[in-house]
């Protein structure tokens, strides 16, 4: 009887140690460094994500003007961006001139709107839009959202990186 009770206690302690280890590994997990890439903007400038490292936080968003909610999410991020820089990557298969017809003027006014983003799409393994990465000033990914976001989530993520 004592052996069974001792075995039960030992098993319980073992399970607790494993649980504490798993919790600590999740809580203390370091953020992942953002994948650097280069892409051409609509204004002919070549940008790299690493240009922002050490300078400003970045919101990297992959959008498609044909996907409902994609441009609307970008609009809400633009309104709340604070000191964060926005890099918007269109992943549409349409030619650039046809994409531009579908984007509202405030998105076309973005300095870092890119239509040729194959390197970034490949590095981030993007297959759908919208996908939003919130990257801190040092280049670490702090949060990733696939799909739509609530305004409160946008604000929380912007606060996290600024």
Q: How many C-alpha atoms does 20 have within 13 Å on its Cβ side?
A: 6
Q: Are residues 92 and 128 in the same domain?
A: yes
Q: Across residues 107-122, what is the average pLDDT?
A: 90
Q: Are residues 64 and 119 in the same domain?
A: yes
Joined tokens for residue 153: 């989530």
Joined tokens for residue 49: 């994500």
- pLDDT per residue as tens digits for the range 56-89: 999 999 999 999 889 999 999 999 999 999 999 9
| Residue numbers of the domain that contains 51 | 32-161
Q: Are residues 1 and 71 in the same domain?
A: no
The reported pTM is: 0.81
Q: What is the DSSP string of 9-51?
A: HHHHHHHHHHHHHHHHHHHTPPPEEPPP-EEEETTS-EEEGGG
Average pLDDT, the chain: 88
Question: What's the CA gap between 114 and 46, in Å, rounded?
Answer: 9
Phi, psi of 43 (to 5 degrees): -95, 10
Q: Are residues 60 and 26 in the same domain?
A: no
Question: What's the CA gap between 53 and 66, in Å, rounded?
Answer: 31
Residue 7 burial (10 A CB sphere; 0-12, 13-18, 19+): exposed
Residue 11 has pLDDT above 70, yes or no: no
- pLDDT per residue as tens digits for the range 116-131: 878 999 999 998 899 9
Q: Are residues 84 and 15 in the same domain?
A: no
Q: Are residues 62 and 127 in the same domain?
A: yes
pLDDT at 20: 65
pLDDT at 10: 65
Q: Are residues 115 and 44 in the same domain?
A: yes
């Amino acid at each position: 009887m004592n052996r069974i009770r001792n075995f039960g206690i030992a098993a319980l302690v073992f399970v607790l140690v494993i649980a504490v280890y798993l919790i600590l590994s999740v809580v203390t997990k370091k953020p992942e460094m953002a994948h650097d890439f280069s892409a051409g903007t609509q204004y002919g400038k070549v940008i790299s994500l690493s240009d922002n490292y050490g300078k400003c936080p970045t919101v990297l968003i992959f959008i498609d003007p044909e996907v409902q909610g994609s441009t609307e999410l970008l609009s809400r991020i633009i309104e709340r961006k604070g000191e964060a820089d926005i890099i918007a990557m269109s992943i549409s298969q349409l030619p650039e001139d046809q994409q531009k017809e579908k984007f509202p003027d405030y998105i076309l006014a973005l300095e870092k709107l890119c239509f040729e983003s194959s390197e970034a799409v490949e590095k981030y393994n993007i297959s759908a839009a919208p996908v939003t990465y919130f990257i801190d000033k040092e280049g670490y990914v702090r949060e990733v959202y696939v799909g739509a976001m609530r305004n409160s989530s946008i604000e929380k993520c912007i606060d996290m990186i600024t």
